[in-house]
């Protein structure tokens, strides 16, 4: 009897009934199947069959981890507000400044609505040419001051309205990871899959930043902005402040499907893969290493001929030497750089 799949994975570790969890054990799963089959078949004097399941995700989810380093960051920072507005400032700017002065714990939602309304009105007037770029920029500074203050006030609230719960994500810093979401974690984009994400070192230090993680593609959807939290999901991930040392994150329970489902979005290819075996005594062995796609590999996948491209660059460089545009030494350096680039990884290499 082939039962197909259906065995869930507890991605968020809550042992609950959310989409990203599993509120039963493997023993409970097996017992439920066997008990129901046994009672049904015995009633009808049917011999007991062999039971086959195809729970691929639950079988392999625990055996693959995506590791990547953080390349750079973008901090959310607000500048100081002016003590007074210009004499000729528009009334809407004065209204925004008035919100700054009155926002408090009791009127936080009202001030949030007012700030959005005044900012949107200023944007519309800017589009119609009735307000200047400087006025729009000043409105943006005031608006983000209000939002930042409201976000801090929500930390003191017993109940936070739904529309205010996303403020931490709006104010979060961005860490840029050396990976492609569409190649290595496509289910995050396609079906809002939740994978556990955490740093793999500096675990004896308390994280002091709230961030979202963006990849190195040019797509605005190439980001992870939903994370495992305690009893619920969260919009930001607590991470450490970056230093001169490399900072690595791990995405866990990735299984066998993500890289297979991935595509060549932005021509970012397969990642390097290392297979690790653990002995009974806990010793680690790196049993196999596979290099990811090179730039030449990926170009060939999309019908470009790397050899012809190299030959074309060589001809252009030689013509430049003959025309005294570059020297023979320059030509050699250009060709070495281009050929090394062709042989190199599609992801950033230091």
pTM: 0.80
> Is residue 231's pLDDT more than 80?
no
Question: What's the whole-number mean pLDDT along residues 201-224?
Answer: 92
In terms of Cβ atoms closer than 10 Å to its own Cβ (0-12, 13-18, 19+), residue 227 is: buried
Shared fold status for 68-74+173-290 and 91-167: no
Local structure of 137: helix, strand or coil = helix
Q: For residue 77, what are its two tokens? A: 């920072």
| % of the chain exceeding 70 in pLDDT | 100
**Which residues, 6 or more positions from 335, have their beta carbon under 8 angstroms from its beta carbon?**
310, 313, 314, 317
Q: How many CA atoms lie within 13 A of 42 on its CB side?
A: 6
Question: What's the whole-number mean pLDDT along residues 235-258?
Answer: 92
Residue-wise pLDDT for 28-67, tens only, equals 999 999 999 999 999 999 999 999 988 888 888 998 999 9
The CATH number of the structural domain formed by 91-167 is 1.20.58.930
Q: What is the pLDDT of residue 318?
A: 95
**What are the structural domain ranges in the chain?**
1-63, 68-74+173-290, 91-167, 295-343
Return the CATH architecture of domain 68-74+173-290: Beta Barrel (2.40)
Task: State the Cα–Cα distance between residues 216 and 120, nearest whole angstrom.
Answer: 31
Q: For residue 258, what are its two tokens? A: 């993500």
**What average pLDDT is seen over the chain?**
91
Residue 53 Cα to chain centre, angstroms: 33
Question: What's the whole-number mean pLDDT along residues 170-183?
Answer: 93
Question: What's the whole-number mean pLDDT along residues 193-204?
Answer: 94
């Amino acid at each position: 009897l082939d039962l197909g799949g259906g065995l869930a994975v507890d991605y968020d570790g809550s042992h609950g009934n959310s989409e990203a969890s599993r509120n039963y054990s493997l023993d409970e799963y097996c017992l439920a199947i066997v008990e129901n089959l046994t009672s049904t078949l015995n009633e009808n004097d049917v011999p007991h069959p062999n039971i086959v399941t195809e729970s691929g995700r639950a079988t392999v989810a625990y055996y693959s981890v995506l590791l990547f380093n953080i390349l750079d960051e973008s901090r959310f920072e607000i500048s100081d507000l002016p003590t007074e507005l210009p004499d000729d400032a528009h009334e809407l700017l004065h209204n925004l400044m008035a919100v700054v002065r009155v926002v408090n714990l009791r009127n936080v939602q009202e001030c949030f609505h007012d700030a959005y309304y005044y900012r949107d009105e200023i944007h519309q007037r800017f589009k119609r040419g009735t307000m200047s770029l400087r006025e729009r920029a000043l409105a943006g500074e005031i608006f983000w001051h209000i939002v930042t203050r409201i976000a801090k006030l929500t930390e003191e609230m017993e109940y936070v309205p739904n529309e205010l719960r996303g403020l931490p994500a709006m104010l979060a810093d961005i860490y840029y990871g050396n990976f492609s979401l569409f190649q290595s974690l496509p289910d995050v984009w396609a079906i809002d899959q939740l994978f556990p994400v955490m740093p793999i070192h500096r675990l004896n230090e308390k994280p002091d930043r709230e961030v979202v993680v963006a990849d190195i593609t040019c797509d605005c959807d190439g980001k992870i902005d939903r994370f495992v939290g305690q009893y619920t999901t969260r919009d930001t991930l607590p991470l450490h402040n970056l230093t001169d040392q490399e900072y690595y994150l791990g995405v866990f329970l990735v299984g066998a499907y993500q890289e297979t489902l991935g595509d060549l979005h932005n021509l970012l290819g397969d990642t390097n893969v290392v297979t690790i075996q653990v002995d009974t005594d806990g010793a680690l062995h790196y049993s196999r290493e596979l290099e990811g796609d090179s730039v030449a590999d990926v170009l060939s996948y999309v019908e470009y001929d790397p050899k012809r491209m190299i030959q074309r660059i060589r001809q252009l460089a030689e013509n430049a030497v003959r025309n005294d545009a570059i020297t023979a030494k320059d030509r050699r350096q250009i060709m070495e750089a281009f050929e090394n680039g062709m042989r190199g990884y599609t992801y950033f290499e230091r």
